[in-house]
Amino acid sequence: MLRWLMLGLLLFGLGTGFNRGWLQLHWGLVMRDLGFPFVCDPEEPTQCYPKGSPYAEEIQAR
């Protein structure tokens, strides 16, 4: 019973955090790390280059 309560509180907390903007997911980074094809977010072009891209290596060198 305690497990269900803890799971419910966890889900409620995550839902509240995403709804109020306390938590954010950068889907471009998630998709890149999982190896799925994705489209870059125009607001964050520097964090969205695929692994092995010369642009990504150039930005990491800075």
| Residue 50 confidence (pLDDT) | 61
Portion of the chain with pLDDT greater than 90, in percent: 27
Global pTM value: 0.48
Joined together, the tokens standing for residue 15 give 């839902």
Chain-centroid distance, C-alpha 35: 13
Q: Is the pLDDT score of 59 beyond 60?
A: no
Q: If we measure between CA atoms, which residue out of 47, 48, 50 comes closest to residue 35?
A: 50
d(Cα 48, Cα 31) in Å, to the nearest integer? Answer: 9
Four-residue CA torsion sign, 5, 10, 31, 38: positive
Per the prediction, the chain carries an average pLDDT of 76
Q: 31, 10 in Cβ contact below 8 A?
A: no
